[in-house]
């Protein structure tokens, strides 16, 4: 009956469902159960050290030995159950949690606590067979077949009902079990995008809620172009499956916002059930660092703490610590700088379905885990306890292999297990502090996916280039999002701020007038919040603040370009904004080639008590960024140390009067760091001189509690 009705009036039902889930979401507590969630206290006073464990895939007579081995390695935490829906509910409404009770009991006997996944990432075959339309549909309108994971439509009413039922049953069953300390919602939310009829109806309802009238929507999206004017809400299409793959950028950006909110509503719905039934358990979900389909800074309001999955060797060169570092900082920034945990830390050789990746020296697994801690992690959980014998991920190593032999990775992880508990008193209560922040604009990132400037454009590469330059000098760097307060920073780097609203313009002006130094780069201020091109002179709303006008630009295709700064030339590419500096604006660098040779490429505009630096291009050599970081920091009054040896990272956490300095060597060669101050080794208590020697893959955690030296360092 419901189905029949639904068939004939989808928009009405979906609109109601959308408004309903939207209002549910609004009731979710804004910031979880507490401000500044203390992960160590929550984990019964121990530094959270764990492994992702899948007891359902191993004979029960192996569990006790697993638990003993975990305990021997210092493991006090597991995450379990996130793909075990069919084991928890083998047939509709029949719940079997006994096996999980037994696993929890076996682990608890060794002092190991658990976060349980809500299993919605892996809906069972019986659910697909009963409701075939829960399958997600791709851009071309083709439904996925059963056989992967997270291939559901997150707006399908049958899937939502099944989700509510399993999450309710799970919360009811485990709400009083002391071995369960929290829940992880689903697994790596954020895709696939949804293109089924439920999504279309929900998108139409979302547009109606946002624009109220069709006239308003048509105006905002500029649908006069090619006569795309809509005369009924039901005419609004989903983006992309069009002739030539063209799309209205305004519609596409709103679709990205809609999908972001649909994902948030899905998480909020689960969070609300868990909080109502099991209020003493903490709530998190495992996220993906730089993954950008979701605005984590909004999603994370419903969580107690942020958790994410860190695979540095999967997609990074071994000694390149900047990518994972920036991801940690982004994850920390996505919940106002609060400490976080790594729910999946790379614990073995990556690969996936068909090909293996590259093996790393065992010592690197320890260095990467320490990097997480240095960047604010109060918990590290390795993926996975043991490599799977079955299914898609046979080519993805865990700590142990299928034979359970206590291999070198196990021994290394066991060594670190002892260390982290010794470090716990030092770590607890410390946080990462920084005077420098990178501003990430989710709307700009989405808008660039819709209309990348040139083939070579990569928003994240720019972030990393600036980030790396400050990190190379041992500075902590935060990540902030447009709606957050960034007034406390001295230096704010906002690469390619494509989409600028009046609110953001006002915040940036206040930041600069109050004494901050703002770094903008090419293609800033081009679009308004509707992804419509500005009618102002570029860089649009930021032109006055930046003290420059841009009347000409040159997208880099095959031509070579360079900029000259302080008598040195640096290669540059991707895009060339040809700057016309206003009165009082200095030119810091000029183009060195082509018909606009000699014209301004980089400018500095003093404004109020601060300044704006506009970099009209993307220099491609590290030498430029090293020079630039020194210049920008000097202007902002931020002290930077000298360059660290290549392959060595310095990062710090602090609390009143004490700073912990982490030195991490990602290379197999010994390195020496000229720290310039005397410290103590947090693990051994021994004093350490101003020159610190690090063995290959070595880690030092140093305590600086001398307040005079502390002042000197800042």
Q: Which is nearer to ligand GLA, 206 or 305 (CB)?
A: 305
- String of contacts with ligand GLA for each residue 293-332, x by CB under 6 A: ----------------x-----------------------
The encoded tokens of residue 130 equal 């009963």
**At closest approach, how far in Å is the CB of 149 from ligand GLA?**
8
| Helical spans, DSSP H, in 438-480 | 442-450, 459-471
Residue 701: which H helix or E strand, with range?
strand 699-704
385 binds ligand GLA (CB under 6 A): no
Q: Which is nearer to ligand GLA, 187 or 334 (CB)?
A: 187
Q: Where are the beta strands (DSSP E) in 432-567?
A: 436-439, 478-480, 491-494, 517-521, 548-555, 561-565
> Helices 459-471 and 442-450 sit at what angle, rounded to 10 degrees?
140
Q: Which is nearer to ligand GLA, 396 or 511 (CB)?
A: 396
Spatial contact of 316 and 323, defined as CB atoms under 8 Å apart: yes
Which of residues 225 and 352 has its CB atom nearest to ligand GLA in the complex?
Answer: 352
Residue 186 lies near ligand GLA (rule: CB under 6 A): no
Cβ nearer to ligand GLA, comparing 289 with 516 = 289
Nearer residue to ligand GLA within complex by CB, 286 or 585: 286
Q: Which two tokens stand for residue 428?
A: 């607890």
Give yes or no for residue 344 binding ligand GLA (CB under 6 A): yes
Picking from 509, 535, 495, 517, the residue whose alpha carbon sits closest to that of residue 616 is 495
Q: Which CB sits closer to ligand GLA, 188 or 419?
A: 188
Question: Is residue 697 a contact residue for ligand GLA (CB under 6 A)?
Answer: no
Cα→Cα distances 226→222, 223, 248, Å: 10, 7, 10
Nearest approach in angstroms of CB 543 to ligand GLA is 43
Query: Does residue 383 interact with ligand GLA by CB under 6 A?
Result: yes
Q: Which one of 187, 300, 476, 528 is in contact with ligand GLA (CB under 6 A)?
A: 187
CB atoms within 10 A of CB 385: 26
Residue 196 near ligand GLA by CB under 6 A: no
Among residues 489, 191, 473, 481, the alpha carbon closest in space to that of 329 is found at 481
**Nearest Cα to 193, choosing from 249, 147, 132, 257?**
257
Of residues 82, 170, 188, 346, which has the active-site annotation?
188
Interactions with ligand GLA, residue window 275-294 (CB under 6 A): 286
Six-digit token string for 702? 């140093």
Q: Is 356 in the site for ligand GLA (CB under 6 A)?
A: no
Residues 390-449 that bind ligand GLA (CB under 6 A): 393, 396
607 in catalytic set? no
Least distance to ligand GLA, CB of residue 309, Å: 4
**Nearest distance in Å: CB 195, ligand GLA:** 23
Number of residues this chain uses to bind ligand GLA (CB under 6 A): 9
Smallest distance, ligand GLA to C-beta of residue 45, A? 28
8-state DSSP, 212: S
Instruction: Determine the 3-state secondary structure of 554 from DSSP.
Output: strand
DSSP letter string, 135-198: B-B-TTSPBPPSSSSS-B-TT-HHHHHHHHHHHHHHHHHHTT-TTEEEEE-SSS---S---SHH
353 vs 669, beta carbon nearer ligand GLA = 353
Q: What is the DSSP string of 23-82?
A: HHHHHS-EEEESSS--HHHHTTTS-EEEEE--GGGS-GGGHHHHHHHHHHTT--EEEE-T
CB of 380 to ligand GLA, least distance (A): 14
Select from 235, 154, 231 the least CA-distant residue to 196: 154
CA distance 153 to 166: 17
Nearest approach, Cβ of residue 398 and ligand GLA (Å): 10
Given 344, 419, 607, 654, the catalytic residue: 344
Based on the shown chain and the rule CB under 6 A, indicate whether residue 352 belongs to the binding site for ligand GLA. Answer: yes
Reply yes or no on whether 188 is catalytic.
yes
Restricted to residues 465-524, the positions that interact with ligand GLA (CB under 6 A) are: none
Provide the pairing of β-strand 679-681 with 648-655.
unpaired
Provide, rounded to whole angstroms, the least separation between the CB of residue 188 and ligand GLA: 5
Q: Which of 89, 170, 188, 338 binds ligand GLA (CB under 6 A)?
A: 188
Ramachandran angles phi, psi of 383, nearest 5°: -100, 125
- Choose among 183, 173, 186: nearest CA to 101: 173
How far apart are CB 33 and ligand GLA at their closest, in Å?
25
Helix (H, G, I), strand (E, B) or coil at 95: coil
- The smaller minimum CB distance to ligand GLA, of residues 20 and 352, is found at 352
Residue ranges in contact with ligand GLA by CB under 6 A: 187-188, 286, 309, 344, 352, 383, 393, 396
Catalytic positions, written as ranges: 188, 344
């Amino acid at each position: 009956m419901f189905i029949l009705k639904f068939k004939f009036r989808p928009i009405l039902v979906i609109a109601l469902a959308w408004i309903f889930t939207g209002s549910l979401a609004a009731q979710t507590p804004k910031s979880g159960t507490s401000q500044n969630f203390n992960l160590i206290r929550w984990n019964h006073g121990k530094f959270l050290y764990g492994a992702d464990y899948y007891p359902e895939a191993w004979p029960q007579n192996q569990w006790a030995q697993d638990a003993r081995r975990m305990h021997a390695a210092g493991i006090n935490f597991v995450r379990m159950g996130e793909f075990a829906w069919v084991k928890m509910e083998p047939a509709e409404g029949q719940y079997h949690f006994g096996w999980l009770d037994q696993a929890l009991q076996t682990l608890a006997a060794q002092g190991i606590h658990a976060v349980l996944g809500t299993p919605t990432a892996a809906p069972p075959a019986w659910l697909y067979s009963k409701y075939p339309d829960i399958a997600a549909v791709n851009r071309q309108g083709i439904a996925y077949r059963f056989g992967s994971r997270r291939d559901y439509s997150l707006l399908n009413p049958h899937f939502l009902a099944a989700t509510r039922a399993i999450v309710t049953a799970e919360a009811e069953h485990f709400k009083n079990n002391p071995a369960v300390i929290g829940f992880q919602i689903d697994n790596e939310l954020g895709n696939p995008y949804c293109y089924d009829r439920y999504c279309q109806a929900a998108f139409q309802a979302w547009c109606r809620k946002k624009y109220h009238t069709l006239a308003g929507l048509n105006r905002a999206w500029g649908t006069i172009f090619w006569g795309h004017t809509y005369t009924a809400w039901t005419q609004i299409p989903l983006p992309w499956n069009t002739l030539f793959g063209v799309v209205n950028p305004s519609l596409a950006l709103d679709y990205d916002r809609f999908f972001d909110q649909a994902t948030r509503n899905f998480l909020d719905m689960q969070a609300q059930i868990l909080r109502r039934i099991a209020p003493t358990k903490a709530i998190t979900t495992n996220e993906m660092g730089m993954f950008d389909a979701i605005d984590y800074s909004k999603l994370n309001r419903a969580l107690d703490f942020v958790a994410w999955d860190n695979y540095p060797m999967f997609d990074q060169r071994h000694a390149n610590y900047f990518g994972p570092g920036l991801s940690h900082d982004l994850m920390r920034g996505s919940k106002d700088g609060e400490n976080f945990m790594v729910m999946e830390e790379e614990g073995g050789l990556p690969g996936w379905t068909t090909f293996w990746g590259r093996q790393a020296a065992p010592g690197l697994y320890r260095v990467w885990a320490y990097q997480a801690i240095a960047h604010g992690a109060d918990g590290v959980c390795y993926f996975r306890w043991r490599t799977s014998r079955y299914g898609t991920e046979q080519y993805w190593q865990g700590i142990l292999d299928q034979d359970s032999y206590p291999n070198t990775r196990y021994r290394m992880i066991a060594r670190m297990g002892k260390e982290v508990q010794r470090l716990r008193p030092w770590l607890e209560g410390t946080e990462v502090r920084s005077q420098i922040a990178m501003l990430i604009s989710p709307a700009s990132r989405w808008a660039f996916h819709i209309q990348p400037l040139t083939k070579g454009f990569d928003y994240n590469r720019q972030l990393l280039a600036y980030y790396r330059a400050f990190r190379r000098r041992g500075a902590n760097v935060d990540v902030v999002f447009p709606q957050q307060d960034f007034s406390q920073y001295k230096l704010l780097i906002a690469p390619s701020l494509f989409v600028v609203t009046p609110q953001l313009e006002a915040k940036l002006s206040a930041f600069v007038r109050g004494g901050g130094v703002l770094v903008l780069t090419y293609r800033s201020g081009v679009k308004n919040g509707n992804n419509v091109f500005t009618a102002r002179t570029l860089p649009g709303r930021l032109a006055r603040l930046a003290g420059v006008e841009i009347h000409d630009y040159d997208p880099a295709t095959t031509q070579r370009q360079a900029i000259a700064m302080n008598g040195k030339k640096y290669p540059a590419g991707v895009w060339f904004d040809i700057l016309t500096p206003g009165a009082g604006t200095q030119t810091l660098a000029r183009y060195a080639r082509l018909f606009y040779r000699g014209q301004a490429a980089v400018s500095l505009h003093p404004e109020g008590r601060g300044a704006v630096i506009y970099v009209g291009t993307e220099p491609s050599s590290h030498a430029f960024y090293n020079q630039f970081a020194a210049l920008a920091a000097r202007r902002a009054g931020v002290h930077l140390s000298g360059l660290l040896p290549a392959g060595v990272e310095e990062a710090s956490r602090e609390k009143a009067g004490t700073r912990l300095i982490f030195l991490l060597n990602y290379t197999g060669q010994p390195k020496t760091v000229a720290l310039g101050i005397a410290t103590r080794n947090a693990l051994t208590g021994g004093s350490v001189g101003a020159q610190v020697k690090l063995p290959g893959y070595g880690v030092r955690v140093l305590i600086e509690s001398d307040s005079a030296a502390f002042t000197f360092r800042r």
